[in-house]
Amino acid sequence: MSAQDAASPADAQAPVAYASVSELNGILTLLQQTATNMQADVGKMRIEKWKTDATTKQQTLANVESIQRNLQSALPDIISQASNAPEDLGASFKLYRELDALYDVFGSVVESAGAFGSKDEFQSLNNDMTGLESARRSLGERVQKLAVNKEAELTRLRAQIKTLSAAPPPPPKKIIVDDTEPAKKPPAKKKTTTKPKPPATTPATTPPPSNPPSQ
């Protein structure tokens, strides 16, 4: 059996359903818009004017720098990977893990802004936090659905393999090769044509001379 025959139909990449692509695009659109807003809002923060100790200010500044690096470099690349492979569980989970880490750091900045920053700073950052939480929650639900679907597909493939393993192999095809030489025909006898004999001719007899009449 050739490698092509051994490959099952499940090995071929199935087309991605429109509903799945549409769902992911909605999540990524919300995430990209939220990331744009976050980048603008943290850039407008005036942490140096906060009425708090220097340690809190330095920690908040370090968090803001980490968030900006993430929004500018890491996150766009991970979003692109997920967009190019909508049904890839690994790519979606990688994005969810990135959002989860970003959520924790950004949440700390929003909390500090609420305690020490201006009202406008806190309101803008809090709106961004709401958008980030919504994208993270939606992506988490999608990752869970993908995991369930992959598990169901794996179970189905295992059942197919078990069924194929239990079934007897098909009998091999018999190929009959006729290697006997055909019997040689005797050479055809040449027909001899006999010329017909000429008819026998009887010799001509000379009539006896007649006696002259007597005087």
For the record, the structure tokens of 177 come out as 């090769």
Nearest Cα to 79, choosing from 149, 125, 124, 30? 30
CATH value of 20-142 in 3.40.50.300, 1.10.486.10, 1.20.120.230, 3.40.50.10420: 1.20.120.230
Average pLDDT for runs of 10 along the chain of length 215:
42 65 94 96 94 95 96 95 93 95 96 95 96 96 90 81 74 68 62 59 54 51
Cβ burial, residue 133 (10 Å; 0-12/13-18/19+): middle
What residue segments make up the domains of the chain, in order of their start?
20-142
Dig out the tokens for 133 from the structure: 């939480």
> What whole-number distance in Å separates Cα of residue 48 and Cα of residue 65?
14
pTM of the model: 0.66
Amino acid in position 153: E
End-to-end CA distance of the chain: 131
Distance CA 81, CA 75 (A): 10
**Residue closest to 94 by CA, chosen among 69, 66, 75:** 75
